[in-house]
Amino acid sequence: MRKYVLIILICLHYQTAYTQVLKGTVCDAKTKTEIPFASVYFNGTFVGTTSDLHGYFELDRSNNPSMPVTISAIGYYSVTIADVSKEVLPRIFLKPKEYALKEAVVKTKSLVRRRKMYLDTFRAEFLGSTHNAGNCNILNEKDISFDYNSNIDTLHAYALKPIVVENSALGYTITYYLDKFEYYWKKETVYFYGNIKFSELKTPPEMQQVQLENRRLAYLGSKMHFFRTLLTDDLKAQKFTLLTPVSEQLHVKDIVVTDSANHTYLHYPSRFNIWYKSKPTSFYFLKDYVYFDNTGYFDPSGINWFGDMGDKRIADWLPYEYTIDK
């Protein structure tokens, strides 16, 4: 059965005015107390900071003028702030992940075998099944819990702490704040969302050239590659072909619209197919207009991906700072 994935990292749209340094305080939504050591960052990038003992933070956004800010903390659901046009943000409240503590703890040895099966499924659906996925290692699998009592045909995974992945194929350490994971056994479909931070993985010099080539191969034909190519209107040279369900060719002007603030959106009245060389991808729109920008960022809540691009999971994702050598 053909798999598909809807991966939601953030749900956003942007404002036209920006400040250089953002300031704010992170708090517990239930107790109203400040949260120390919360992560404040631009989702999918290397850039971020940490709140102090009083939950206060300052974040320089001079190099990320069009990106919203995500706030995450251990034991809480992440929050993304779309309106960052003011220098000082209002108090930011994070909701505790109380349900995870109740449902997802292995208490008996009889569950060990089932946990192994669940972890194998989680790895395959979260990391993917590509060559790069085979070179990923989740460093804190013990922090991932599952719902062992559910009678429905769905695997639920929870993590109070961020999931840390060492991707030796691409040379990154990934910190992923998981907010939801559901895998449907019969349909073989997965739905998960959260927020991701990247850092460079220290590797021997002899491995670095291999990692650079692996990054290049991961980029080619990726969602990031596709959206960047739309803005340069260079589909043919970049080996992309767009076809309607009845195989009529589409062009950039048919699917990209720009608003008065020069923000770009993907828009088309129905689904269409993307071919990168011989690899097909199709998707359904979940929103009428899907924002994207020149970094390759797009609003993932607006698209349900199928095929090659949909099968590429965490192991093949690149930070938005990535640039390919010409």
Domain boundary among 182, 204, 226: 204
Residue 323 belongs to a domain: no
Same domain as 311, residue 213:
yes
Residue 152 belongs to a domain: yes
3-state secondary structure of 257: strand
Q: How far apart are CA 247 and CA 286, in angstroms?
A: 22
Domain boundary among 64, 97, 130: 97
Query: CA 265, 179, 78 angle in degrees (round to 5)?
Result: 75
Residue 322 belongs to a domain: no
> How many percent of the chain have pLDDT more than 90?
67
3-state secondary structure of 144: strand
Residue 111 belongs to a domain: yes
Same domain as 287, residue 300:
yes
Same domain as 49, residue 76:
yes
Residue 297 belongs to a domain: yes
What pLDDT score was predicted for residue 148?
66
Please tell me the total count of domains within the chain. Answer: 3
Q: How far apart are CA 101 and CA 104, in angstroms?
A: 6
- pTM comes to 0.84
What pLDDT score was predicted for residue 112?
80
User: Which residues partner with 57 through β-bridges?
Assistant: 24
Residue 32 belongs to a domain: yes
User: Which residues partner with 39 through β-bridges?
Assistant: 50, 72
Same domain as 287, residue 219:
yes
In the 8-state DSSP scheme, what is residue 161? S
What pLDDT score was predicted for residue 8?
45
Same domain as 245, residue 200:
no
Same domain as 252, residue 197:
no
Same domain as 140, residue 192:
yes
User: Which residues partner with 93 through β-bridges?
Assistant: 27
pLDDT in tens, 153-205: 899 999 999 999 999 999 999 999 999 999 998 888 898 999 999 999 998 88
Q: Which domain holds residue 310?
A: 207-316
Contacts of 87 (CB under 8 A, 6+ apart): 19, 21, 22, 23
Domain boundary among 97, 114, 136: 97
Q: For the chain, which residues score pLDDT lower than 50?
A: 1-2, 4, 6-18, 100-104
Q: What are residue 257's phi and psi, to 5 degrees?
A: -125, 155
pLDDT in tens, 271-291: 999 999 999 999 889 999 999
Same domain as 162, residue 128:
yes
**326 half-sphere exposure, CB direction, 13 A CA radius:** 1
What pLDDT score was predicted for residue 264?
94
DSSP alpha helix (H) spans, 10-154: 98-103, 112-127
